[in-house]
Amino acid sequence: MKRLKIEISVPESHVEAVIEALHAAGAGRVGEYARCSSVWKVTGNWQALPGSRPYDGEVGVVQHSEECRIESVCELDRAAAVQQAVREAHPYEEAVIHFLPLYEP
């Protein structure tokens, strides 16, 4: 089975909710361990365009804000369920969720 690395940026206020959604959808299994993830602080940058409804900031203004990056893993067959669960728990209008293939010889 192919495994994917998951990367998500989220405001600190929603880290626990997003991690819980990840794990409930089947992410975070590493061998005989469950609920595996990492979190660290990053600075996010964005500019909301006309027609958007930003969670933080104003339309047309370049924003810089502290966020948290969550990383975990999932099996390829769980990716769609993980993506849906994260979107439901995430406060951003457009949640950034990266799924990256892992090289596992």
What are the pLDDT digits (tens) for 27-72? 999 999 999 999 999 999 999 999 999 999 999 999 999 999 999 9
Q: 3-state DSSP call for residue 52?
A: coil
Burial class (CB in 10 A: 0-12, 13-18, 19+), 62: exposed
Average pLDDT, the chain: 95
CA–CA separation, 8 vs 54, rounded Å? Answer: 17
Q: What is the CA radius of gyration of the chain?
A: 15
Instruction: With CA atoms as reference, report the closest residue to 5 among 90, 78, 95.
Output: 78
Q: What confidence score (pLDDT) does residue 1 get?
A: 62
Looking at the DSSP assignment, which residues form a beta bridge with residue 40? Answer: 69
